[in-house]
Amino acid sequence: MYPGSRIVDSVIGNQVIIKDCSIIEESRIADQATIGPFAHLRPGSVIGERAKIGNFVEIKKSTVGEGSKANHLSYIGDALIGRDVNVGAGMITCNYDGFEKHQTIIEDDVFIAAMFSLSHR
């Protein structure tokens, strides 16, 4: 565990790397996963083997499957993320319809990303 991180009521597997300034609360992290820096795992987060949760990624009450990665600037809440999923920068799960929260499900071997282009004039 690197400096400035905090772990509360969580289960951490073998060979897990927890980088600087990460917060892990009431979560489970499987073997060989990498967390941070500056990641926040809120209660109910389950991180699979060899998964990577990177810079400024927040996970809440979600499962991130084996080998999946969210490398930077993302929010995953109330979601089930499959195996070998790549969550691109700036992605969020929006699953509140104004009355209820629903679970977002992203199946195995998926790449999700925000798409935009810049035009030069």
pTM of the model: 0.92
Structure-model confidence comparison of residues 87 and 94, the more confident one: 87
For residue 117, what pLDDT band results from cuts at 50, 70 and 90? Answer: low
Q: Which residues are catalytic?
A: 72
**What is the DSSP secondary structure assignment for residue 47, as one 8-state letter?**
E
Alpha carbons 10 and 14: distance in angstroms, whole number: 13
Residue carrying the six token digits 């499957």: 65
| Coil vs helix vs strand at 88 | coil
User: What's the pLDDT score for residue 50?
Assistant: 98
Please state, for a pLDDT cut of 90, what percent of the chain lies above it: 83
